[in-house]
Structure 1
Amino acid sequence: GRSYTEQISHVADRPGHDKRYAIDASRIGTELGWSPRETFETGLRKTVEWYLANEAWWRPLVMEKATARRGLAG
């Protein structure tokens, strides 16, 4: 019955927590000679462009999931 805002509980940051999610890909470059073909910016641009160009593919999936989440699926 409470609002979402009232349900938020803030916790203290854990030391080193963010380091766990920071990827150091230097080893794959050094050992395997691999490097990405895309930068973050070009990859993000291409991803957004794909979603804009392929809405007929992904829109039904989003709608299906949203309907099921509300318990309205048949």
Structure 2
Amino acid sequence: MGINSESEISANLQIGPTTLGMVRIYVAGDGIDLPLDFDPDEAEEIAQELRTAAAGARKMAESAKSKKK
């Protein structure tokens, strides 16, 4: 499975600070229990990657809409 493959798997995502000063991304679902801890600088890099990916996805969606017209 790649980043562009659709899936029927569902999971819950929680993001927040830990008492140790880390940022935790916690993924939980059927058979999945995955805590991922990042220092604040890494978390900000991930946040920027998410914003960049969202902007790219928005452009792709707009492009696909304009092709349908």
Structure having the higher helix fraction is 1
Structures share fold, TM-score greater than 0.5: no
Larger Cα-atom Rg: 1
The structure showing larger relative contact order (alpha-carbon pairs under 8 Å, at least 6 residues apart) is 2
Structure having the higher strand fraction is 2
